[in-house]
Structure 1
Amino acid sequence: MHTRRHLIALSLATTMLAACSSVPSPDERPPIVFVHGNGDSAALWQTTLWRFESNGWPRERLFASDQPFPLARDDDGVVQPGRSSSAESMAFLKAEVERVLKTTGARKVVLIGNSRGGNAIRNYVQNGGGDQVVSHVVLGGNPAHGIWAVKGLREGSEFSGLSPFIQQLNAPKNAAGDEVTPGVKWLTVRSDNNDKYAQPDGVWIGAKGTATNIGFDGPALKGATNIALPRIDHRETSFSPAAFDATWRFLTGEAPRTLQPVPENQVVLSGRVTGLGLDPLNPSSGAFVNNLPLVGARLAIFAVDASTGVRRGQAAWEQTIGQDGRWGPLQAQPATAYEFVLSAPGYATTHIYRSPFPRSSAVVQLRPERMAEADRDAKALVIFTRPRGYFDAERDTMRFDGQTTLPGVPPTGAGVSSTKVRLADDTPRSIAGEFNGERVVGRTWPAGGGALSVLELSY
């Protein structure tokens, strides 16, 4: 139902979007570079890539890559192990764009970014020469005016609206006071009121009851085409069908033929295996995500029965991960569900269950989990996760292991993307997670043997 409301809102904006668009015909589509957000990876663009391909954008002109250290520093000007500055993010993006231009021979690219990825894009276009080689920019859920703007509260963070970084990005570019760099066409996509990082109250930054001085319209930019979609969450500003619809209309001036991936007869899967880092100066501070290769990790892939999670024979793929971190390519079976098993020293043996892949993908990124100390007394542990969006108890139809109330998911708001159950029985059995019509079924594994299960949604 909420998708239909999104499309009604979009239809009202179609004329405006068409007027802003000048991308060439399908035979001359420019390359698109997709930029992920804080702590994320290229994998989040998987369904977006499928939608672009299904509407005729050439696969060889779609590029999504992993920033090695995707987490922002606590203070942008202070070196922090395992994290990146805004300048480093811009330098990474600049190198990626130059590589894409050289590879394709194109004169200009389209940049599409989610969340923090939008900071890198804006910085590159404004300060890194990107205005000369970028035609269109689409920003989903970008904290364009910060996530907070409170004096004395981490003002050095690139997520503070008071930071020098954000202040210079938003400085007026012309007499009209536009905040976007001229010569490039800009679209922002935001939620009407359900983005955890565009909230007037600081509940999602650990400061409930404190004013952030940021409104629901924080991601909007003066001088851009700005669209608000009802009830979408922070990640859905980029990865939902409604966000794709808005993006396609902005780039082409036309409605997309389809909002869903069109199945292929042959499916080839590949990606990267990455891990979790530790601060060498403070190992007890906990692990942080990175997109560095997890060299030496073992990967095994099994076809499974989609209704039970039970394996259908021997491994379809086995590999030790090398220096480049890549795995595959696996010639997968269409309409077949798979279990990805990752093992590496210091990690739990992680059994990841996925829905069938309708199309090929080179960004099936995999990362094993570490068993939290608080979960070590569980007989079995199962994580249910939605990488491309959040769980919203008021909006979504959900069920996890037969329960409609998901552990750790609040009754209001969309700010949690993973939930887990700690089981008191280690007897292997089937376990299911359901979300708005997508159902993933896996198997439980004894935690005493150092194993856990992940049910990962694609949509």
Structure 2
Amino acid sequence: MHTRRHLIALCLATTMLAACNTAPLSSERPPIVFMHGNGDSAALWQTTLWRFESNGWPRERLFTVDQPFPLARDDDAVAQPGRSSTAESMAFLKAEVERVLKTTGASKVVLIGNSRGGNTIRNYVQNGGGDQVVSHVVLGGNPAHGIWAVKGLREGNEFSGLSPFMQRLNAPKNGAGDEVTPGVKWLTVRSDNNDKYAQPDGVWIGAKGTPTNIGFDGPALKGATNVALPRVDHRETSFSPAAFDAGWRFLTGEAPRTLQPVAESTITLSGKVTGLGLDPLHPASGTFVNNLPFAGARLAIFAVDTATGARRGAAAWEQTIAQDGRWGPFNAQPATAYEFVLSAPGYATTHIYRSPFPRSSAVVQLRPERIAEADRDAKALVVFTRPRGYFDAQRDAMRFDGQATLPGVPPQGAGVSSSKLKLSSDALRSVVAEFNGERVAGQSWPAAQGDVSVLELTY
């Protein structure tokens, strides 16, 4: 999926990194540990893993993690149900790195993180002994100086540039004023001006018109190699082809052979089923995300027509999820689209549609939906979601059920990653979502029976 913006971004990354002495790794590929961001999971690294594998990085040297409670606390110093502190996040990553070192026998690892995952990585390298076992770090969209730095505004929050945590993290490490821990090689990848969490105006934090005191260059760090990619959004700083290109060149000193996943003839899929917890401190939201295993859920997988999303026969796979939350392995057919159906008490029966998988993946994470009270009037609900990026009406070519304007997506900016369609009929029919060349087709299902459809982009 090549777009003009990715090609422009790629050219910029190539130019900047070619001028840098990045001290590439040796020919032996070290293990890489990928740390996800706030509220996210290992699943977001799927396309990144495919790109590393397609360029020859051994699959068994690539490790993703699922932090059990991936959301940051409102105040880092105050315990909060279902959320994690910076200390807890660091301890989690430290244990994962130690496990990877023991498993592989390697002496050093590479760490790659997105958003909050960058905070965790920096904290571990600086304060958790990571400087002894980490050779290279790649940070995408890391709010390195906070998302806001406003006196009196949630200064105890991990994402405040005035928080004790952020102040300690950014304290000068040497006479040159470097903000990164010495002895480790650092790359930051940021957007030139399209990251919702690096904006001078507080529009994306619910304070439109209020200065955040954070610039577009907030994710850059003194002492690191810093790359800015044109028009990429917050998540694309890690999950886009241009971001992969920048990271690969930084780690290897060479251009990647390909920016797209190379198709495999045999495809095996597996992953984890997780649920939604109740959030007693945020009753309006009702739930919080977690990466805890969801035992007892029921999964069925159907091959579907790629053009319409209609089922092509009986279930190709059925499974009741055990205590570890894992599902699979399922031997998928190349070039075949699938519908993943999750059912569990207290949740909507969730029909997840994806475009065909080009390669095997062990991080096909699945989560059932709940129908919000505000949506109870709909005859059918269809959600169009992009986990590895945002929708930008000015930048992207998009259509949802034939409409170029996506419900809930603003006309400016890249800050929304899902759109919800409330249908006035419960008749089963095809619904198609398109984004920059990727097309996902699914079927609508009656909301009165407790069903929701999700059209999920891969790229």
Shorter-chain TM-score tier: over 0.9
The 5 Å alignment of 1:97-112 reads 97-112=97-112
> Partner residue of 2:23?
21
CA shift for structure 1 position 7: 1.5
Distance 1:281 1:33 in 2: 32
Alpha-carbon deviations, 1:28-49, whole Å to 9, x = none?
Answer: 1000000000000000000000
Secondary structure, aligned partner of 1:302: strand
Q: Deviations over 1:335-363 (max 9, x none)?
A: 10000000011110000000000000000
Matched with 2:42 is 42
- Letter paired with 2:316: A
List aligned pairs for 1:273-312, cutoff 5 A. 273-279=273-279, 286-312=286-312
State the alpha-carbon separation in 2 of the partners of residues 346 and 323 from structure 1: 18
Quick one: distance in 2 between partners of 1:279 and 1:439?
35
Indicate the residue corresponding to 1:2 in structure 2.
5
Conserved 8 A contact 2:70-2:84? yes
Match of 1:416 in 2: 416
How far did residue 279 of structure 1 move? Answer: 2.9
Offset of residue 8 of structure 1: 1.6
Q: Among the aligned pairs, what percent are the same residue?
A: 82
Residue 313 of structure 1 and its aligned partner are, at CA, apart by 1.0
Query: TM-score by structure 1 length?
Result: 0.98
Residue type of the partner of 1:292?
A: L
Contact 2:190 / 2:237 at 8 angstroms: preserved in 1?
A: yes
Amino acid at match of 1:124: Y
Please tell me the residue identity of whatever aligns with 1:112.
I
Q: How many residues get paired?
A: 456
Q: Indicate the SS of the match to 2:327.
A: strand
SS of residue paired to 1:168: helix
The correspondence of residues 181-330 of structure 1 with structure 2, limited to 5 A, is 181-279=181-279, 286-330=286-330
Measured in 1, the distance between the counterparts of 2:306 and 2:279 equals 39
Shift of 1:65: 1.3
Matched, 1:11 2:14: yes
Q: Secondary structure at the match of 2:19?
A: helix
In the TM superposition, residue 11 of structure 1 has moved relative to its aligned partner by 2.2
Q: CA deviation at 1:285?
A: 5.0
Task: Please say if residues 75 and 158 of structure 2, whose CA atoms lie closer than 8 Å, have aligned partners that are also in contact.
Answer: yes
Provide the rounded CA distance (Å) in 2 between the counterparts of 1:386 and 1:337. 17
Report the residue type matching 2:67 in the other structure.
Q
Q: Which amino acid aligns with 1:242?
A: A
After TM superposition, give the deviation of residue 284 of structure 1 in Å.
6.0
Q: Give ranges in structure 2 of 5+ residues lacking alignment.
A: none
What letter matches 1:148 in structure 2?
W
Matches within 5 A, 1:38-437: 38-279=38-279, 286-437=286-437
Tell me the SS of whatever aligns to 2:396.
coil
Structure 1 residue 55 displacement after superposition: 0.1
Distance 1:247 1:10 in 2: 9
CA–CA distance in structure 1, aligned partners of residues 159 and 320 of structure 2: 38
Provide the rounded CA distance (Å) in 2 between the counterparts of 1:122 and 1:282. 29
| Aligned-partner residue type, residue 8 of structure 1 | C
**For each residue in 1:331-390, what CA deviation from the matched residue of structure 2 results, as whole angstroms up to 9, or x when unmatched?**
000110000000011110000000000000000000000000000110000000000000
Say if 1:116 and 1:281 are closer, same or farther in 2 by CA, change over 3 A. Answer: closer
2:14–2:246: 8 Å Cα contact kept in structure 1? no
C-alpha distance in structure 2 between counterparts of 1:207 and 1:284, whole Å:
19
Distance 1:339 1:325, change over 3 A: same
SS at match of 2:82: coil
Q: Distance in 1 between matches of 2:290 and 2:129?
A: 27
| In 2, Cα distance between equivalents of 1:161 and 1:283 | 27
Q: Structure 1 counterpart of 2:330, which letter? A: L
Consecutive unaligned residues of structure 1, counting only runs of 5 or more, are: none
* Residue 175 of structure 1, CA deviation: 0.1
Distance (whole Å) between structure 2 residues aligned to residue 285 and residue 385 of structure 1: 19
Deviation at 1:13, TM superposition (A): 1.5
Q: Please, what TM-score do these two structures have when normalized by structure 2?
A: 0.98
Q: Secondary structure at the match of 1:242?
A: helix
Q: Give, as a single letter, the amino acid of the residue that structure 2 aligns with 1:104.
A: T
Whichever residue aligns with residue 323 of structure 2, its letter is Q
